[in-house]
Amino acid sequence: GDSVTQMEGPVTLSEEAFLTINCTYTATGYPSLFWYVQYPGEGLQLLLKATKADDKGSNKGFEATYRKETTSFHLEKGSVQVSDSAVYFCALKGGSNYKLTFGKGTLLTVNP
């Protein structure tokens, strides 16, 4: 079945540091890929998405590129801020599927 593996946290960075959170997936067909963010006490918010190979999703300075050859969708940001502190989830939705399959999440803490 579908599965998502993302790097385990927690990740602690200083403000303005470069961020990478690795995500790889296993799926049949051509899934859509997502990054969601969860701030303390809140639900999930869509950060970015990509629906086909080589697509780059981007939002709020975050980027991720859908790499079919390596089955990866790594999240990057060039300069993190304290306000980026949250849990980040990589997720996929199979081509003919109706559900999201999530990774375990990565806690990011950014210190001033």
Partner 1 sequence: ETGVTQSPTHLIKTRGQQVTLRCSSQSGHNTVSWYQQALGQGPQFIFQYYREEENGRGNFPPRFSGLQFPNYSSELNVNALELDDSALYLCASSLDLQGSYGYTFGSGTRLTVV
Binding site for partner 1 (CB under 8 A): 4, 36, 41-46, 49, 89, 91, 93, 98-105
Residue number with CB closer to partner 1 (17 or 100): 100
Q: Which two three-digit tokens encode residue 31?
A: 């899934």
What gap in Å lies between CA 50 and CA 48, rounded to an integer?
Answer: 7
Nearest 5°: the CA angle 21, 24, 30 is 130
Please, what is the minimum distance in Å from the beta carbon of residue 111 to partner 1?
A: 22
Rounded to the nearest whole angstrom, what is the least distance from the CB of residue 98 to partner 1 in the complex?
A: 5
- Using CA atoms, how far residue 45 sits from 34, 35, 67, in Å, is 10, 9, 23
Taking CB atoms within 8 Å and a gap of at least 24, the contacts of 60-69 are 62/35, 64/23, 64/33, 64/35, 66/33
For partner 1, give the closer residue by CB, 73 or 89: 89
The residue among 2 and 76 lying less far from partner 1, judged by its C-beta, is 2
Quote the DSSP letter at residue 67. Answer: B
Minimum distance of partner 1 from residue 103's CB (angstroms): 5
101 vs 110, beta carbon nearer partner 1: 101
| Shortest distance (Å) from residue 4 CB to partner 1 | 8
